[in-house]
Structure 1
Amino acid sequence: MRKLPILKSLHLFEAVSEFPSFSRAAERLNMTTGAVSYQMRLLEDWFGRRLFVRHSSGVRLTSDGEQLKRSCASAFTMLEKGCYELRRRHAGRSVVVGGSTTFLSHGLLPRIGRFRQLYPDVDLLFETEDDLDALVVGALDVLFIGGRLKSLPIREVHASNEMIGPVCAPAMLEAIKNPKDIRSISLLHEADRLDAWSEWASAAAICLQGSRKVVFDSFSLVMEAAKSGLGAAISSQILVRSNLEKEELVAPFGFVPVNRSIYMFVNEHARNDAAVKQFEHWALSEIMRRDHQPSPFEAPIRQIKQVA
């Protein structure tokens, strides 16, 4: 019988150690500050030494606390990997796919029926997860991330330049004959991406000063507003491809490249699995491909490539 502190306490310690105070940790972990403090005190009593230095503005780890944090990270990572490897061994033909809620909802799921037609015996599991650590430990087989990554910790990665542009309901084409006409209609913004229109305007060399702004708290609401004819929205091409095909939206001026990419990572331990290979190859041709829609502003961009 192993003589260790309660596993739950060690797991909680690892989480709490990321915060500058017990109150901040408690808020994020949906616990009371008193409960967090009590659990950490019990752990310190078990070790017979202080793991935290308490001060007026919060807490910080002692040298012993830092050592325990490293040990927890190593042990939990190893345990996590082992659990996911065991689960995969008995998972049959399945693929666990991760990405942001927006990407899964608008970029992937509208097209996933095509994959199911090709490979009806492959089970797909979707996780709203965009953390590379989840891929490394095996919680995910495939992970999609958008943005600018300073470094690529995983050797095998597929990348496609992101393209953005205005989209609107087909009925609005009468009001916007050229890019400058955009200023005459409402510009729909996502609260988390208030710079999207400015980014497009800069790439397209268009001045948007004086335009009307309407802000929504999610990308889904922005798209619904655009489809309803309330204005025009800026979107990544990959997220509205299905809407364009269904003619729910139009992209009157095409899409321009920006300094971001869509990345698709594949777990190194799963990449030789037949089902994962099938999903990877399908996603490269169906999701990560670049559309060649004409745009008066379009500049050459790099094609989908694999970064070694």
Structure 2
Amino acid sequence: MARRIPPATWLRAFDAAARHMSFTEAARELGVTQSAVSRLVRHLEQHVGQDLFVRYPRSIALTEVGRAYAQTVHEAFDRLAGGTEEVFGVARDEPLTVRATPGFAVFWLAPRLADFRARWPEVAIRLASGVWASDFTGDGADLEIRYGDGDWDEVEAVRLTRETIFPVCAPSVAAGLHRPADLAEATLIHAVGFEAGWPSWLDEAGADAVMASARAISSDTIAATVALARAGSGVALLRSSFADAALADGGLVAPFTQATPLSEAFYVTWPSLRPLRPEAAAFRDWLVGRADVEPDRPMS
């Protein structure tokens, strides 16, 4: 008896739409039109006899059965990709792809990468950027450097850093900062999307009233906040794992000694269901060897 398996094109469209929560973004990933994705998903819904998405005027959401099926379909594609690589290997000219935030790539990875290149000169590397949590799906990358608490579904994770945050600014700005309360007259540069930021640091410094009067600039990357601070646009918060590179040339200084510890950190992650190819395993082991902390657990 033939199995009731929908066409792969329908499943691909559904998987991409479920990961992005957007027909438009799914279309961009697949290289087709938004209407084509919508049509393919509708075919799949007719095939299984149930709605997989709730369609709103400007957004979509998975139904309860859609959420369950999305996980099944995604795991199936992961197993298929992993099995293909295990049996046939990866094309020799395919680079090792590592996805990381711009800040981690610039301030942590770039200063250390020459060491890996010296050890593994034959490995081609592609660095891909991700900013938001939705950018880190495990797809299209051998390894991802994620920021958070280390608890993500369907990936293995090993901690690379232990973090504190502290203010940094250009020397000309620091000249007018003698105590945390002076920040009330400064511009605070915020990195949005992080659990801890200026409110946490100011509270520990006993200067929480500063938030009410200080001017503000916001950016969605630490790399941008550091660049703004270096240019004299205000005061940013720097993560301790970035300090060596960011403070090395004197263009940024720390006006205060207060540093606030964070529970979140950077982790190297890889899909649980997909075997790592040798180059990826070597890069992972190298990352952990250069890490600021001892591994939380043995790696497999």
Structure 1 length-normalised TM: 0.70
User: For residues 95 and 56 of structure 1, what CA distance do their matches in structure 2 show?
Assistant: 38
Cα distance 1:118–1:171, how it changes in 2: closer, same or farther (>3 A)?
farther
**Inter-partner Cα distance in structure 2 for 1:160 and 1:194:** 16
Pair 1:215 & 2:217 matched: yes
Q: Structure 1 residues 154 and 225 mapped into 2: Cα distance closer, same or farther (>3 Å)?
A: closer
Equivalence for 1:161: 162
1:50 to 2:49 alignment: yes
One-letter code aligned to 1:306: D
Q: Aligned ranges for residues 63-142 of structure 1 at < 5 Å?
A: 69=70, 72-85=73-86, 89-91=90-92, 95-128=96-129, 134=138, 140-142=141-143
AA partner of residue 235 (structure 2): A
Q: Which moved more, 1:225-234 or 1:79-88?
A: 79-88
Q: State the match for 1:181 in structure 2.
A: 182
Q: CA deviation at 1:198?
A: 0.8
Match of 1:29 in 2: 26
Taking the aligned partners of 2:280 and 2:52, their CA distance within structure 1 comes to 47
Cα deviation code 1:9-37 (max 9, x no counterpart) = 22113345679xxxx74344358776455
Q: Alpha carbon RMSD of aligned pairs, Å? A: 4.1
Quote the offset at 1:229 in angstroms: 1.4
The normalised TM-score by structure 2 is 0.71
Distance 1:83 1:249 in 2: 48
CA deviation vs aligned residue, 1:124-161 (integer Å, no higher than 9, x gap): 222335677528xxx54433111224467656623432
Q: Name the SS for the 2:262 alignment partner.
A: strand
Match for 1:252 among 232, 252, 255?
255
Give the secondary-structure state (helix, strand or coil) at the position aligned to 2:167.
strand
In 2, Cα distance between the equivalents of 1:244 and 1:79?
46
Within 2, Cα distance between the matches of 1:174 and 1:59? Answer: 51
Which has the larger Rg? 1
The answer to whether the 8 Å contact 1:159/1:306 transfers is: no
Q: Does 1:270 align with 2:276?
A: yes
User: How much has 1:285 moved relative to structure 2?
Assistant: 5.1
Answer yes or no: is the 8 Å Cα contact 2:146–2:268 preserved in 1: yes
User: Does the CA-based 8 Å contact 1:159-1:307 persist in structure 2?
Assistant: no
Aligned pair in 2 of structure 1 residues 231, 93: CA closer, same or farther (>3 Å)? same
* Partner AA of 2:262 in structure 1: V
**Which runs of 5 or more residues in structure 2 are unaligned?**
none
Is residue 2:194 matched to residue 1:190? no
1:225 aligns with 2:224: no
Aligned partner of 1:300 in structure 2 is none
Aligned match of 1:294: none
Displacement after TM superposition at 1:56 (Å): 9.0
Tell me, in whole angstroms, the C-alpha distance in 1 between the residues paired with 2:145 and 2:231: 29
Q: What is the SS of the residue equivalent to 2:237?
A: strand
Instruction: Tell me the CA shift for residue 178 of structure 1.
Output: 3.5
How far residue 196 of structure 1 moved from its aligned partner, in angstroms, is 1.2
Q: Would the alpha carbon gap of residues 120 and 62 (structure 1) be closer, same or farther in structure 2, given more than 3 Å must change?
A: closer
SS at the partner of 2:162?
strand
